[in-house]
Structure formats: C-alpha cells, structure tokens
Structure 1
Amino acid sequence: MELTETYTLPISQQRTWEALNDTEILRASIPGCESIDADGENAYAVVMSASVGPVKARFKGRMLLTDIDAPNAYTIVFEGQGGAAGFGKGNARVTLEPDGDAATKLMYSANAQVGGKLAQIGSRLVDGAARKIAGEFFKRFGAQVGGDGGSATASDDEQSAAVEAAPQNTDSTEAADPGSDGKEPKRKKSWRAWISRF
C-alpha cells in the first residue's frame, strides 16, 4: 500500500514542526489513538483502535523517527500488532516547506504492509481506510494547531449530526416555535429540537 498526499496548514513551518513532535497534539489528532508515550530517543509507544472494513482491532505498536532534518523533514518507521486482526508496518517520509509567511505545505509519502485478517479483506478496503484515517488526522491536526483546539473536531461532529437530523425536525420545530420572528435560521431551530431529545 502506498499513500502520497499534500496538505497546506495555516501556521508557520517552525510551529508545524513543533506540533508534529508534540505527543499531546498527535494523540488528539490520530483517530482512535488512546496513548502515545516516549519509548527511548525519538521513539514512541502507541496504542490505538481502528476499523478496516469488517475488522476492528486495538493495535499496540511503536513509532520511530529517523533521518531527522529539523524543521524540514523526518521519516516515521512504524509497526503495530492487532492480535487476531493481524499487523501493520511501514514508513512515511514527511516533508515541510514554507508556503508564504504564515502557512506550511506538508507532504508525505507512506508505504505500509499488513498481514493476518487485514491482508485477507483486500487492498482496496485497506487503502480506503488508510486514506480516511489520514484525512481525519490532518483535519484534527489543523484544528489543534490552528488554535481551535479539540473543540473544533467535536463541534464539527455535532454540526454534521444536526444537519443529518435537520430534515426530520424542520416541521415539528417550526410548530413548536410559533413565536419566532423568522430571523433565526432553520438549522438553528433544528439543532435545538435535536438536542432537546437527549
């Protein structure tokens, strides 16, 4: 499996580099990550849960940073065991370039191998899951380093849930709110009706 992506982050190269080496930011950004703890020089023990198609597993692994060229690039070498689900291992080269004064272009190229049940479900599902996890990581990472913190991710999830619920709630909400002067958007009304159900 190979993945190559480019992202633009709204912060300086130095700040991006510092964030990529901050275990708290990484833990909050990696989907399903339970912990990242230092495990030697430039090495980390990682515990995370992931779903790949029908296979769900809790992985315990190790991540080692090599070929470090601060604040421009490093290579991540990783391996993880998911018990009966199988294993994953590989490496990713991460490169940073300034994009103007206050933005950074992050590029990565990753190669990975999986075994056990993960290998049996097919490369298409594995690739799709890997791209989804990577995309979610950079969305969360951008929210963390952009100053919104973890709340940005939560509010995004809540908003999408509200949007999904909105079509079913629009009529009942308007009926329940006859005093509205019409200035309040329907989405807000639907959100209130949706949250009041809990």
Structure 2
Amino acid sequence: MELIGEKLIPAPISATWEALNDAEVLKSCIAGCESLDHVQADMLAAQVALKIGPVKARFKGTLTLSDMNPPHSYVVSFEGQGGIAGFGKGSADVSLTEQGDQTLLRYSARAQVGGRLAQVGSRLIDAAAAKITEDFLCRLRSPVAAGQRRSGGESARRPRQSRSACHIAPGQCRRAEGQHSFLAGGRDAVAARIGCSGGG
C-alpha cells in the first residue's frame, strides 16, 4: 500500500516542523492514539486502537524519526502488533516547503499489514488509510494555527474555540467511525491547541 499527497498548513515552516516533532501534538492528531511517549530522542512508544471492517484491536508499537533535516524533512517509520488481529509496519517520507507565511507538507507513505488485517481486503484498507491520513492532516492544521495565534498575542483576545470545532472547510475533516492508524499516518493535548479534536 502506498499513499502520496500534500496539504497546505496555515503556519510558517518553523512552527509546522515543531508540531511534527511534538509528541503531544502527534498524539492528538492520530485518531485512536491512546498513548505516545518518548523512549529515546528519536523513538516513541505508541498504543493505538484500530478498527477496519470487522477487525478491531489495540496495537502497541513504535514510531521512529530518522533522516532529520530540520526544518525541511524527516522519515517516520512505524511498526506495531495487535495480537491475533495481525501487524502493521511501514514508513513515510515527510517534507516541508515554505510558501510565504504558510507551509506545504508533502508525504509519501508505504505500509504493510499481516494477519487478520490482510484478510480484510486491499480496497478497504487503502480507503481507510487514505481517510485516516486526511484526518491526521486536518487535525494537524488546527494546533499549528492555534500556536501561531498564541505567539502573535492573539489568544488572549480571542474566545477559546470549542474542542469540537474544525478550522477546515466543511467536508475536509470527516471522521470514519473506528478507522484508526499509526501513520496518519493518518489529527487532546491542550484544548487551546486543538481546534479539531476527538480521540479514537
């Protein structure tokens, strides 16, 4: 399975890079992520609740960041085990390009699943992975933008956003009930940071 795409993030490249290296932000952006903690400087332990079709399980695994080129690119590798549900592993190349006061995020992800997950069928898995990734990027935009408002001194003058609000055009931040992934890649650390939240 392979996913390739891009998303414009409404924040400078430095703020976007910081968010992509913040465990709390990443946890809030990965639907179904129950825990995400650093075990090494470049490795995080994750627990994610996943449901695709008839397969539902809690996966435990790791995220590893490598080939770091701040603030322009890195590689995220992941692997996890879900018991009888099977396993998932893969990697994603992530790059950031400055576009004025915004940042274009590009990604190219590859993933492999085994066990019962592999029996669900590639079409369903591919569709779920694409939806999960879109949800992740939708969620990422909100805390990054919120951080920019705080740094600009605007947060004190603005009412706190509802945790269920989404600063994305309608239809771009839809969630599939129970469809979760390590990757997202395929989007509650602090309420003020998250404009589009909702755990798994």
TM-score band, normalised by shorter chain: 0.7 to 0.9
Relative to structure 1, the CA distance from residue 153 to residue 125 in structure 2 (aligned partners, 3 Å threshold; closer, same or farther) is farther
Which residue pairs with 1:133 in the alignment? 132
The alignment partner of 1:114 has SS state of strand
Which residue pairs with 2:103 in the alignment? 104
Which residue pairs with 2:63 in the alignment? 63
TM-score, normalised relative to structure 1: 0.75
Which residue pairs with 2:183 in the alignment? none
The alignment partner of 2:165 has SS state of helix
The alignment partner of 2:123 has SS state of helix
- Take 2:46 and 2:161, find their aligned partners in 1: how far apart are those partners? 23
More helix by share: 1
Relative to structure 1, the CA distance from residue 37 to residue 151 in structure 2 (aligned partners, 3 Å threshold; closer, same or farther) is farther
Which residue pairs with 1:154 in the alignment? 164
Which segments of structure 1 move beyond 3 Å, counting only runs of 4 or more?
Answer: 148-153
Letter in 2 for 1:105: L
- Take 1:5 and 1:139, find their aligned partners in 2: how far apart are those partners? 13
Unaligned runs of 5+ in 1: 161-198
Letter in 1 for 2:115: G
- Take 1:153 and 1:135, find their aligned partners in 2: how far apart are those partners? 19
**1:82 and 2:92 equivalent?**
no
Partners of 1:49 and 1:58 within 8 A in 2 = yes
Which residue pairs with 1:114 in the alignment? 113
- Take 2:17 and 2:141, find their aligned partners in 1: how far apart are those partners? 13
Q: Deviations over 1:125-150 (max 9, x none)?
A: 11111111111111111111111899
**1:92 and 2:92 equivalent?**
yes
**1:54 and 2:64 equivalent?**
no
Q: Deviations over 1:143-177 (max 9, x none)?
A: 11111899555135xxx9xxxxxxxxxxxxxxxxx
With CA pairs under 8 Å and 6+ residues apart, which has the higher RCO, 1 or 2? Answer: 2
Structure whose alpha-carbon radius of gyration is higher:
1
- Take 2:141 and 2:163, find their aligned partners in 1: how far apart are those partners? 10
Which residue pairs with 2:181 in the alignment? none
The number of aligned residues is 156
